[in-house]
Structure 1
């Protein structure tokens, strides 16, 4: 099942997406600038492939999360180079990262 819902974070609205997959869930929270996601997707690809680096994708990844709430409160394990322009750092919570792009 795929669930898409608006999500309020300190008065700012984001979109929360949850995709139930066999033995795991794909979780994302986004707005028009960037997104955070669970470790089911790869952030490194946006930093390693020159053609993708040009896109300046603002993204961060947290590991070991199973719900949107856990994604909000987990520390980001990886962030794209482009996200650093918004003050994102490895170790900051997903919530703190999202508020920097609101």
Structure 2
């Protein structure tokens, strides 16, 4: 099952994506500029092999719901996210607000 839901954070609308897979769930919340995602996101791949794409993204691990993703500290972020002031340890929803 795939669920796409708009969510509101501080008056801004983001899109929450939940993909139920066998034995795991993929979670992401996106803005027009970037996104945060569960541990399935490979930040090293984005920073190294896909660096020319300039992806703005952050990764939180150990989350099982969108609410947890929004409130979890980011475990890693892309170089482009750092350029926007997003850093490791920042809470997911705070990072999203820097992506508007």
> Same fold, TM exceeding 0.5?
yes
Equivalent residue, structure 1, for 2:56: 58
How high is the TM-score relative to the length of structure 1? 0.95
Partners of 1:27 and 1:67 in 2: how far apart?
A: 7
- CA apart distance, 1:23: 1.1
Unaligned runs of 5+ in 2: none
- CA apart distance, 1:10: 1.0
Equivalent residue, structure 1, for 2:12: 12
Which consecutive segments of 4 or more residues in structure 1 shift more than 2 A?
Answer: none
Partners of 1:41 and 1:78 in 2: how far apart?
A: 10
Residues 34-81 of structure 1, C-alpha deviation per residue, up to 9 Å, x if partnerless?
A: 0000002211101121xx111100000000000000000000001000
- CA apart distance, 1:13: 0.3
Unaligned runs of 5+ in 1: none
- 1:99 paired with 2:97, answer yes
